[in-house]
Amino acid sequence: MIKAILIFNNHGKPRLIRFYQYFAEDMQQQIIRETFHLVSKRDDNVCNFLEGGSLIGGSDYKLIYRHYATLYFVFCVDSSESELGILDLIQVFVETLDKCFENVCELDLIFHMDKVHYILQEVVMGGMVLETNMNEIVAQVELQNRMEKSEGGLSTAPARAVSAVKNMNLPEIPRNINIGDINIKVPSLSPF
Q: Output the smallest distance, CB 161 to another protein, in A.
A: 5
Give the residue, chosen from 11, 54, 181, 185, that forms a contact with another protein under the rule CB under 8 A.
185
Give the residue, chosen from 10, 59, 84, 142, that forms a contact with another protein under the rule CB under 8 A.
84
Distance CA 148, CA 17 (A): 23
Q: Output the smallest distance, CB 83 to another protein, in A.
A: 6
Name residues contacting another protein, limited to 142-171 (CB under 8 A): 143-144, 147-148, 150-155, 157-158, 160-165, 167-171
Q: Site mask, another protein, residues 25-64, x = CB under 8 A?
A: xx-xx------------xx-xxxxxxx-------------
Cβ proximity to another protein: between 69 and 164 the closer is: 164
Distance CA 47, CA 50 (A): 8
Distance CA 80, CA 61 (A): 9
Q: Give, for 17, the enclosing helix (H) or strand (E).
A: strand 14-19
Q: Site mask, another protein, residues 96-135, x = CB under 8 A?
A: --------------xxxxx--xx--x---xxxxxxxxx--
Give the residue, chosen from 11, 22, 174, 181, that forms a contact with another protein under the rule CB under 8 A.
22
Cβ proximity to another protein: between 10 and 88 the closer is: 88
For the four alpha carbons of 145, 5, 49 and 59, in that order, the dihedral sign comes to negative
Cβ proximity to another protein: between 10 and 136 the closer is: 136
Q: Output the smallest distance, CB 99 to another protein, in A.
A: 19
Range 77-86, long-range pairs (CB < 8 A, 24+ positions): 77/1, 77/2, 77/3, 78/1, 78/3, 80/1, 81/1, 81/2, 81/129, 83/49, 86/2
